[in-house]
Structure 1
Amino acid sequence: MSAPLLSVRGLDKKFGGLAAVQQVDMDLHPGVLTALVGPNGAGKTTLFNLITGNIPADSGEVLLDGASIRGRSPHHIARLGVARSFQDLRLFARMTVRENVLAAIEHTAWLWQPGGRSARRAREAAVEQALERTGLTAQANARAMDLAYAERKFLSVARILATGSRIWLLDEPASGLDLHSRARFVSLVRQAAAEGVTICLIEHNLDIVTELADRIAFLDRGAKLAEGDPQDILRDPELIGIYFGERRT
């Protein structure tokens, strides 16, 4: 396995007396899909928020290409190539699908941005490619609020695709998808990983985890209990018991 692109070392976060993330270590490698698994409240989304700078860590490090990005603003981390989705999607409801995707690369689309027509064509090509790969070309001029739920999910992924980010942090991107849409999603994510994208996925559907994950990191009560091969993790009776609500003493 190649050197990690992003590493978390000793990451810790408390909210009052609640330890949301406890001394978590984790490595994300190029072309490898890691699934974050654990019961509700395990700290999975909080870990994403710490990595992306949405909330500050109390201690520990987040390293990108070996350099610390802890304390950087979310938009700065995003521009370094760390993109994420949210459970609540955070789309611009009254903007079109195409406008939503273009907005994701707005820092390269300012009127005074250098590059002229060539750069503009490159931006437009990135948007159209993202729409094509997510199956949204026919809906390009529809408002986000008028899309079916599954198409909104794919729009959130299209926004990430258009940025060309090296790291995708996906927070329950397949939740609520029908079987056909789920197959589309699995194919899309597999293609991205095959192209070398580093992917970390929060997912409660263990069937999707089994289909996609190269590795699993299992969290409970903010602590990483195990990390490794999906089959080994999912065959561990203690971990599966925790996942389905049998608490540790």
Structure 2
Amino acid sequence: MNEVLLRSENLARAFGGLQAVAGVSLSLYAGQVTALVGPNGAGKTTTFNLITGNLRADSGTAQIRGRPIMGLKPWQVARLGVARSFQDLRLFTHMTVRENVFAATETASWFWQPGGSRARLRRQERAEAALEATGLAALADARAVDLAYAERKFLSMARILAAEADIWLLDEPASGLDLASRLRFGELLKNAQARGVAICLIEHNLDVVVELSNRIAFLDQGRVLAEGDPGTILKDPALAAIYFGDRPQEAA
């Protein structure tokens, strides 16, 4: 479980005069949850975008099991075993729940898929298992647009489960969830950990971070300021001041 599945080194990206990410190095381990924590604008989502190919890095490298991935398109990174969720979920809103999940199992954009009927049956089984695991089986024929907010969140997670990726990048997956839904979400992550999935989550709910994460990387102004176990990082008064916006004023 100490295997590094994904490693980034010195990732950097600027937008005009704004240095959004300034040399982020990060390692994701099999069977561990790493939380990216920091104030708004710290560069957390941009880091995800650089790793997955949604944005091109100005400099730095990233590897999956030692294979360089910089310059790959998002679908190519996904084929290497990376599943990603977004703050805005990006569901196929007018497709059914089942269709949304089944789409995550497709290996190509063609109308026909390799492997024939046996492979299609296997994809269907993966989709149905993901629906059961996320509590959405009874809603399989509902349209995604008609789901409640928490149900949409779990539909996003069902697609990740069905993809059978072993690296998960989750952007605020527990935001807006009630306690019961948060507990169900936590069980999904713990089960994935037990299978050796490497998970990285961006999360502002510190209760969720403490409960679920093994390690924390604290980002601010595009840099990793500290990395370690949740108890140590979250008890640091200097980091707490940054997180809650209570920065010391620079001398004039």
TM range, normalised to the smaller chain?
A: over 0.9
- The answer for the alignment partner of 2:208 in structure 1 is 208
What are the ranges of 5 or more consecutive residues in structure 1 without an aligned counterpart? none
Partners of 1:200 and 1:8 in 2: CA distance: 13
TM-score (norm 1): 0.97
1:137 match: 137
Please state how far the C-alpha of 1:111 moved relative to its aligned partner. 4.7
**1:172 maps onto 2:172 in alignment:** yes
Equivalent residue letter for 1:160 = I
Aligned partner of residue 107 in structure 1, secondary structure: coil
How far off its partner does 1:109 sit? 7.9
Structure 2 residue matching 1:153: 3-state secondary structure: helix
Q: Per-residue deviation at 1:173?
A: 0.6
Mapping for residues 182-201 of structure 1, pairs under 5 Å: 182-201=182-201
Letter in 2 for 1:224: V
The answer for the alignment partner of 1:122 in structure 2 is 122
Q: Which residue of 1 aligns with 2:13?
A: 13
Q: Could you say which residue in structure 1 is the equivalent of 2:158?
A: 158
- 8 Å Cα contact 1:127/1:162 also seen in 2: yes
Provide the aligned C-alpha RMSD in A: 1.2
- What count of residue pairs does the alignment treat as equivalent? 249
In structure 2, the partner of 1:219 is 219
Amino acid across the alignment from 2:241: G
Runs of 4+ aligned residues of structure 1 deviating over 4 Å after TM superposition are 108-111
| Cα distance in structure 1, aligned partners of 2:83 and 2:111 | 24
Q: CA deviation at 1:189?
A: 0.9
Corresponding letter in the other structure for 1:226? A
Q: Residue type matched to 1:74 in 2? A: P
Relative to 1, partners in 2 of residues 1:140 and 1:148: Cα closer, same or farther, differing over 3 Å? Answer: same
Structure 1 match to 2:75: 75
Q: Residue 59 in 1 paired to residue 59 in 2?
A: yes
Mapped to 2, the partners of 1:109 and 1:41 lie a distance apart of: 34
C-alpha displacement at 1:70, in angstroms?
A: 0.4
Q: For residue 51 of structure 1, report the CA deviation from its aligned partner.
A: 0.4
Answer whether contact 2:31 2:198 (CA < 8 A) is retained: yes
Deviation, 1:190, is 1.0
Q: Is the 8 A contact 1:5 1:65 kept in 2?
A: yes
Deviation for aligned residue 1:112: 3.7
% same residue = 64
Identify unmatched segments of 5+ residues in structure 2.
none
**Residues 184-215 of structure 1 deviation map (CA, whole Å, 9 limit, x = unaligned):** 11111111111111100000000000000000
Check whether the contact 1:95–1:143 (CA below 8 A) recurs between aligned residues: yes
Q: What does residue 93 of structure 1 align with?
A: 93
State how 1:39-54 maps to structure 2 within 5 Å. 39-54=39-54
Amino acid at match of 1:18: L
Would the aligned equivalents of 2:106 and 2:123 in 1 still touch at CA under 8 Å? no
Maintained 8 Å contact 1:11/1:59: yes
CA distance in structure 1 between the aligned counterparts of 2:3 and 2:122, rounded to whole angstroms: 31
Amino acid at match of 2:72: R
Supply the distance in 2 between the matched residues of 1:10 and 1:151 (Cα, whole angstroms). Answer: 37
Distance 1:108 1:120 in 2: 12
Give the match for residue 37 of structure 1.
37
CA contact (8 A) 1:82 1:166 kept: yes
1:90-139 deviation digits (Å, cap 9, x = unpaired): 00111000000111122258454332221111000000000011110000
